[in-house]
Structure formats: C-alpha cells, structure tokens
Amino acid sequence: MCIQLIVSMVTTKYRWLFAVGIVLTGALFYASTSSEDKKSIENESTTNLETANQLPQVIKSIRLDKTYSIAGEALPEENFDALERLDREILVNSYWHSSTMLNIKNSKRYFPVIEKILQEEGIPDDFKYVAVIESNLRNVTSPAGAKGIWQFMSTSARGYGLEISREVDERYHTEKATRAACQLIRDYKERFGTWTNAFGAYNMGETRFAKEKDLQHMDSYYDMNFGEETGRYLFRVLAVKEILESPQDFGFYYEDSELYHPLTDGKMVSVEEPISNLGDFARKHGTTYRMLKVYNPWLISNRLTVGPGKSYEIRIPAS
C-alpha cells in the first residue's frame, strides 16, 4: 500500500511539472513573437469565432433592370410604387425555397394541360400563373371554402357549369375547372377593360372590384388602393412568372427527371352505369383505389351515381 501511495505522489508531481512546462513554453513563444504576428493570431481567432456564429448563405437583392409585362400589358416603369411592390414579391418567392421548388415541379404536371386550354379559349398564357398563386397547383380547400387549383367558390363554380355533389366536385377536375376559369376571366376582361384589371377581379371578386373602381374613380389596378391580399396579388403573379420562366436566374436548379410528370397517361373509360364501389372498379381496371383518386380527384366519394342520359369519363393510369 505504501509503495502504491509513493508512486501515485511521484506521478502527480511529474504531471504538475509537465503542465507548468507547457504553460511556460507557450508564454515564451508568445513573448518572442513579433507584434504583427500577434495581431494576426488574434484576428484569426476573432474571425473563426465570428464565422461560427454566421449562417452559411448569401442573400442578394433583385435587380429590376428590365421591362416587365403581364398578359401583354406593361407594368408602368415610371411608377416607383409598382416597382417596389414587384420587388417585394420577387424577393419573397425567390427565398421561399421549398414552396417555389415544388411549384416548379408541379408546373411540369399541370402547365401543358392549362396552356393548351388557355390558347383554345383565347386567354393570355400568363393566366396559368394565377393557378400557382391561388393553390400552388394543388387541389386544396381554402378557409373560405374555395376549392381546386383555380379556387372556385361553389356558387361561381356552378354558375360556370361545374358539377358539385356529394360524389362529384368538378372544381378538382383540371380540364373542366380550367375551362370554367377561362370563361370567368374573359367576363372580367369584358367588364373591366384590361387583363390587368381581370387579375385583380379574379382575386377580389367582380362585385367588390367594381365597387372599389367606382368609389376611387380609377380605371387601372395600378392606380387603385386595395387591402393587403388584392394589393399584392398581381405582383405575386408577375413575380412567379419571372421565377418560373427563368428558375436558374434565381438559384433554382433541377434535373428534368426530378419534375412531376403529367397525369395524362393511361386510358379514358366512359361510365354510363352507377358504380357502387370505386375500389372494385379500380381493381377491375388493373389499378388501385389510391391511384384512381390521384388521377381523378373530382371523384370525392367511394361510389358514383350516374343518372339517366348521364356519363362520366374516368382516367385509368397506365399499369
């Protein structure tokens, strides 16, 4: 026991002497270092500390150095207020990374269908970006009850020929809802004179837009004062247009294989008789209940009633 105690004391003594030696060596090294080298060491330590507390990103402003237009109508470049409102929306959407990237991916799925219908209906191609602003190209339901990628309220939807029942909601039918949106947009253009005003009316509603137009004695969206949502609306559309037309200019990179493919494959099946269970119908046609709903989101029940003289076209995905 005594021998172990002596060894322990000696070991502790040498450890202490070793530690003192290291401190003295460091002090002598620092004392012999030139003042410039000392300053360099101190600056490097400070820099490393600051870097550790910084976010690894670069945030840049947007250069508004071009002529902007929407639906063929120019944004008034002399209007600093309009440019600042556009600047805000481009910045917000440029740095809203996940949402914007998902919009880019979804655009591959929906734009080919929407663009074709817009062209056939004589509506400017830029109105496809309304669907992005309204729903992020998803069949969502708003707190107010608007549904689908075009966000139709039930009254307007029925007024433009869309069927809504316990089993069917054609606000979720991409082709039919897009046709209805085209008719609505055309009506707004005819009443309010410009496509620019039609954008504002699409967001605010025809009655409220007409009321504000008459109250303010103004003929242009750019000259009217709205609440937060409608005041930002047109500029959000224009900002999304700029980013989705040239995504790499705003730092968004992807491979074509990473985009979401259109849901236009497979075949169409005409249904003229009631379907008591869509799961059985899916199995009969070589697909799953889930895929049947993905390709036909307008089928909102597990069954489909078909009245006399009525028929539906259901898309069956390729196996």
Q: pLDDT tens digits, residue range 4-32?
A: 443 444 344 444 444 445 444 444 444 44
Domain assignment of residue 280, given as a range: 267-316
- Provide the number of structural domains found in the chain: 2
Instruction: Band the pLDDT of 61: cuts 50, 70, 90.
Output: confident
CA distances in angstroms from 82 to 67, 72, 208, 236, 243, listed in the order given: 12, 17, 22, 12, 18
Q: Do 195 and 151 share a structural domain?
A: yes
Q: Do 128 and 163 share a structural domain?
A: yes
Q: Do 295 and 251 share a structural domain?
A: no
Instruction: Provide the 3-class DSSP secondary structure of residue 16.
Output: helix
Instruction: Band the pLDDT of 49: cuts 50, 70, 90.
Output: very low
Q: Do 178 and 305 share a structural domain?
A: no
Q: Do 283 and 142 share a structural domain?
A: no
Residues 6+ apart with CB under 8 A from 126: 70, 71, 72, 195, 237, 241
Closest CA to 180 of 140, 152, 203: 152
47: alpha, beta or left? (left if phi > 0; alpha if psi -120 to 50):
alpha
The domain boundary, picked from 225, 241, 258, lies at: 258
Q: How far apart are CA 72 and CA 79, in angstroms?
A: 18
Q: Is residue 8 part of a domain?
A: no
Tokens of 230: 């409608």
Instruction: Band the pLDDT of 63: cuts 50, 70, 90.
Output: confident
Q: How far apart are CA 197 and CA 299, in angstroms?
A: 34
Q: What is the pLDDT of residue 44?
A: 53
Instruction: Provide the 3-class DSSP secondary structure of residue 18.
Output: helix
Q: Is residue 126 part of a domain?
A: yes
Q: How far apart are CA 67 and CA 317, in angstroms?
A: 43
Q: Do 248 and 131 share a structural domain?
A: yes
CATH code (residue 100):
1.10.530.10
The domain boundary, picked from 219, 240, 258, lies at: 258
Mean pLDDT estimate for the chain = 87
Q: Do 158 and 289 share a structural domain?
A: no
For residues 113 and 263, the answer to whether their CB atoms sit within 8 Å is no
Tokens of 67: 């002529």
